[in-house]
Copies of this chain bind each other. A is one copy, B any other.
Amino acid sequence: MVAVDSLGERGIINLLRQRLELMPNMAVPFGDDVSAVSIDNSDDGGEVAVLKVDMLVAKTDVPAKMCLYDAARKAIVMCVSDFASKGVQPVAALVALGLPNCLATVESVVEIVDGLNAAAREYGAYIVGGDTGETGDLTISVSLYGKAFKSVLMLRDGAKAGDVLAVTGVFGKSSAGLRLLLDDSYVASSRARLVLENAVFRPVARLVEGLALSKSGCVSASMDSSDGLAWSLHELMRMSNVGFTLDLVPVAVETVEFAQQNGLNAESLALYGGEEYELVLTVPPEKWDAAKKAVEEVGGKLIAIGRATEHREIVLLQAGGRKQVINHCGYEHFTS
Q: Which A residues fall within an 8 A CB radius of B?
A: 1-5, 7, 9, 12-13, 15-16, 19-23, 26, 30, 34-35, 37, 39, 49, 51-57, 59-61, 91-92, 94-99, 101, 103-107, 109-110, 113-114, 116-117, 121, 126-137, 139, 141, 143, 145, 147, 333-334
Query: What would 24 A/B residue contacts be, using CB atoms closer than 8 Å?
Result: A4-B101, A4-B106, A7-B106, A9-B132, A16-B130, A20-B127, A21-B117, A30-B129, A34-B129, A35-B94, A37-B91, A49-B49, A51-B94, A53-B94, A53-B141, A56-B133, A57-B98, A57-B135, A59-B134, A59-B135, A59-B136, A60-B134, A133-B139, A135-B139
CB distance from A77 to the nearest CB of B (A): 14
Contact B59 A333 (CB under 8 A): no
Contact A55 B96 (CB under 8 A): yes
Provide the bound-state CA to CA distance between A23 and B52, in Å.
19
Residues of B within 8 A of A19 (CB): 110, 113-114, 117
Contact A129 B53 (CB under 8 A): yes
Contact A143 B94 (CB under 8 A): yes
Q: How many monomers of this protein are in the complex?
A: 2
Residues of B within 8 A of A105 (CB): 1-4
Residues of B within 8 A of A61 (CB): 133
Provide the bound-state CA to CA distance between A136 and B57, in Å.
10
Provide the bound-state CA to CA distance between A117 and B39, in Å.
22
Provide the bound-state CA to CA distance between A114 and B60, in Å.
26
Residues of B within 8 A of A129 (CB): 30, 34-35, 51-53
Provide the bound-state CA to CA distance between A5 and B105, in Å.
8
Contact A57 B128 (CB under 8 A): no
Closest B residue to A7 by beta carbon equals B106
Closest B residue to A136 by beta carbon equals B136
CB distance from A10 to the nearest CB of B (A): 9
Residues of B within 8 A of A35 (CB): 92, 94, 128-129
Closest B residue to A1 by beta carbon equals B105
Residues of B within 8 A of A137 (CB): 135-136
Provide the bound-state CA to CA distance between A47 and B103, in Å.
39
Residues of B within 8 A of A143 (CB): 51, 53, 94, 96, 141, 143
Provide the bound-state CA to CA distance between A21 and B9, in Å.
34
Contact A4 B53 (CB under 8 A): no
Q: A13-B130, A55-B98 are in contact. List 20 more A-B contacts (CB 8 A).
A: A4-B99, A4-B101, A15-B113, A21-B117, A21-B121, A35-B94, A37-B128, A49-B145, A51-B92, A51-B143, A52-B129, A53-B130, A54-B131, A55-B131, A61-B133, A98-B98, A104-B334, A135-B135, A135-B136, A135-B137
Residues of B within 8 A of A59 (CB): 134-136
Provide the bound-state CA to CA distance between A57 and B30, in Å.
26
Provide the bound-state CA to CA distance between A313 and B146, in Å.
41
Name the contact of A1 in the complex, choosing from B22, B52, B106, B114 (C-beta under 8 A): B106
CB distance from A15 to the nearest CB of B (A): 5
Provide the bound-state CA to CA distance between A333 and B116, in Å.
22
Closest B residue to A27 by beta carbon equals B128
Contact B96 A128 (CB under 8 A): no
Provide the bound-state CA to CA distance between A113 and B128, in Å.
27
Provide the bound-state CA to CA distance between A130 and B132, in Å.
18
